[in-house]
């Protein structure tokens, strides 16, 4: 595996780096940010800047206005965008839209792509992915799903009823991708207009992270009627499509958060060089210097993991256990980096006078979203046990 950047990719990396520094980071103190993410007017302004710079939706296919980047290309571009918490919003590569666009490109019909994928890739609309449910419904165990879609033979429409929560971007989204159980068929994905009768946004959840436009909503579906043309892919293939979406989406999370961790490290490093204690910069004391060294190693580990998995994706499909392993490695590595940066900054680290406290708060959820570390470890352990030789054979 050769991770040397092509001249074209190196030039794109430099372009995005300049764009984030010159055009996006000045918006980080913009008041149009709240507990549930950037307001729509701010998102529109950021997206417009990326559109003018020719950097909007770099992951999307050329036919939808994107740059058609490979996964290695995305690893480079997404990390640079992630250097600002507003960067992924500007480039239209934030969750859940980035993963939803990938899913629609892979599974949707031509008509569905024109109706939903094109305006999403052009940055005109947002979407949400409706899978997680409150107890006793689906959380870490998707087989517990209680949301149903029942065919009404009278008009050939499916009637969806259920309850979803932690639905990122629900508030203000135009499209909902809904996972529901069709009786005697299995889990199926449906596309629905968020303005349709039968969809209610009950509330937005107040969470530690505040970086996702639309926040995290609680949705109720009551008698939502959708035509058969709203089925995404095939009946009963919902779980398979979920894995098709989640494996690369976990990796793109890793790419974006790697950029944020690098930003936190740069801020902490600058402080460690300026701040004096006991006659010299604090970075020259082992307590702080060792934390900087550990950051360097964790960032290196995270980047190698991302690059390897991106290379695998470019060769074919990333196996489920590989995405689980990468998600745990990177989410925990970047969280360690952010935590050390808070510690290096001391009192400054827990204020809003630097971006580090926000990165720390936003990043903490990464160890839970798209599967908590413990569930991924459990899944990996089961695979390891199945592949192990019997103890007697090893003696």
Residue 349 belongs to domain with CATH number? 1.20.140.10
pLDDT at 159: 98
As a whole number, the mean pLDDT across the chain is: 95
Inside any domain, residue 119: no
Which percentage of the chain shows pLDDT scores above 70? 98
Residue 393 has pLDDT above 80, yes or no: no
pLDDT at 3: 80
193 and 138, same domain (yes or no): yes
Q: Over the stretch 28-63, which tens digit does the pLDDT of each residue have? A: 999 999 999 999 999 999 999 999 999 999 999 999
pLDDT at 319: 86
Residue 69 belongs to domain with CATH number? 1.10.540.10
230 and 274, same domain (yes or no): no
pLDDT at 106: 96
179 and 300, same domain (yes or no): no
85 and 138, same domain (yes or no): no
Residue 72 has pLDDT above 50, yes or no: yes
257 and 224, same domain (yes or no): no
pLDDT at 216: 98
Q: How far apart are CA 227 and CA 190, in angstroms?
A: 9
247 and 333, same domain (yes or no): yes
Which of 234, 267, 287 corresponds to the end of one domain? 234
pTM: 0.94
pLDDT at 388: 58
169 and 187, same domain (yes or no): yes
Q: How far apart are CA 256 and CA 50, in angstroms?
A: 16
206 and 258, same domain (yes or no): no
| Alpha carbon distances (Å) from 288 to 274, 285, 338, 341 | 13, 6, 14, 10
Which of 52, 75, 94 corresponds to the end of one domain? 94
pLDDT at 337: 98
pLDDT band of 389, cuts 50, 70, 90: low
Residue 127 has pLDDT above 60, yes or no: yes
Inside any domain, residue 205: yes
Q: Mean of the pLDDT values across residues 177-194?
A: 98
Inside any domain, residue 353: yes
Inside any domain, residue 114: no
Inside any domain, residue 202: yes
Inside any domain, residue 286: yes
Residue 395 has pLDDT above 60, yes or no: no
Q: Over the stretch 339-375, which tens digit does the pLDDT of each residue have? A: 999 999 999 999 999 999 999 999 999 999 989 999 9
Total number of domains in the chain: 3
251 and 230, same domain (yes or no): no
Inside any domain, residue 291: yes
Query: Torsion angle of alpha carbons 45, 89, 98, 126, nearest 10°?
Result: -50
301 and 338, same domain (yes or no): yes
Q: Over the stretch 76-102, which tens digit does the pLDDT of each residue have? A: 999 999 999 999 999 999 999 999 999
Which of 94, 109, 142 corresponds to the end of one domain? 94
Residue 394 has pLDDT above 90, yes or no: no
Q: Mean of the pLDDT values across residues 177-202?
A: 98
325 and 226, same domain (yes or no): no
Burial class of residue 308, CB neighbours in 10 A (0-12, 13-18, 19+):
middle
Query: Torsion angle of alpha carbons 364, 146, 97, 234, nearest 10°?
Result: 140
Q: Mean of the pLDDT values across residues 159-166?
A: 98
Q: Over the stretch 267-326, which tens digit does the pLDDT of each residue have? A: 999 999 999 999 999 999 999 999 999 999 999 999 999 999 999 999 988 888 999 999
243 and 380, same domain (yes or no): yes
User: Do 164 and 219 meet the contact criterion of CB atoms below 8 Å apart?
Assistant: yes
DSSP 162-173: EEEEEEET-TT-
User: Do 354 and 369 meet the contact criterion of CB atoms below 8 Å apart?
Assistant: no
Structural domain including 276 reads 239-387
Inside any domain, residue 333: yes
């Amino acid at each position: 595996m050769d991770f040397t950047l092509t001249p074209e990719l190196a030039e794109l990396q430099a372009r995005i780096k300049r764009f984030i520094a010159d055009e996006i980071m000045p918006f980080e103190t913009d008041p149009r940010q709240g507990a549930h993410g950037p307001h729509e007017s701010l998102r529109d302004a950021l997206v417009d800047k990326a559109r003018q710079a020719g950097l909007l939706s770099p992951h999307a296919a050329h036919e939808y206005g994107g740059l058609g980047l490979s996964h290695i290309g995305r690893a480079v571009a997404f990390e640079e965008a992630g250097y600002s918490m507003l960067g992924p919003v500007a480039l239209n590569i934030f969750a859940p839209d980035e993963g939803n666009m990938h899913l629609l490109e892979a599974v949707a019909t031509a008509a569905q792509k024109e109706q939903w994928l094109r305006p999403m890739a052009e940055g005109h609309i947002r979407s949400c992915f409706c899978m997680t449910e409150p107890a006793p419904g689906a959380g870490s165990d998707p087989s517990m799903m209680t949301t149903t879609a029942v065919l009404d033979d009278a008009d050939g429409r499916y009637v969806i009823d259920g309850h979803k929560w932690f639905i990122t971007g629900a508030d203000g989204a135009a499209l909902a991708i809904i996972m529901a159980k069709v009786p005697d068929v299995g889990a199926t994905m449906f596309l629905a207009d968020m303005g349709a009768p039968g969809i209610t946004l009950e509330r937005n959840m107040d969470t530690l992270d505040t970086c996702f436009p639309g926040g995290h909503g609680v949705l109720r579906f009551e008698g939502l009627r959708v035509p058969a043309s709203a089925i995404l892919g095939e009946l009963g293939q919902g779980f398979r499509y979920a894995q098709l979406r989640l494996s690369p989406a976990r990796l793109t999370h890793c790419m974006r958060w790697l950029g944020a961790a690098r930003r936190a490290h740069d801020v902490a490093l600058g402080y460690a060089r300026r701040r004096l204690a006991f006659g010299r910069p604090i970075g020259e004391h082992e307590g702080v210097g060792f934390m900087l060294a550990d950051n360097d190693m964790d960032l290196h580990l995270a980047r190698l993991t991302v690059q390897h998995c991106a290379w695998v994706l470019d060769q074919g499909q990333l196996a489920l256990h590989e995405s689980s392993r990468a998600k745990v490695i990177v989410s925990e590595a970047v969280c360690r980096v952010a935590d050390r940066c808070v510690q290096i900054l001391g009192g400054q680290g827990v204020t809003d006078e630097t971006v580090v406290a926000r990165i720390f708060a936003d990043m903490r959820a990464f160890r839970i979203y798209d599967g908590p570390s413990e569930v991924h470890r459990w899944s990996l352990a089961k695979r390891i046990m199945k592949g192990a030789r019997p103890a007697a054979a090893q003696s």
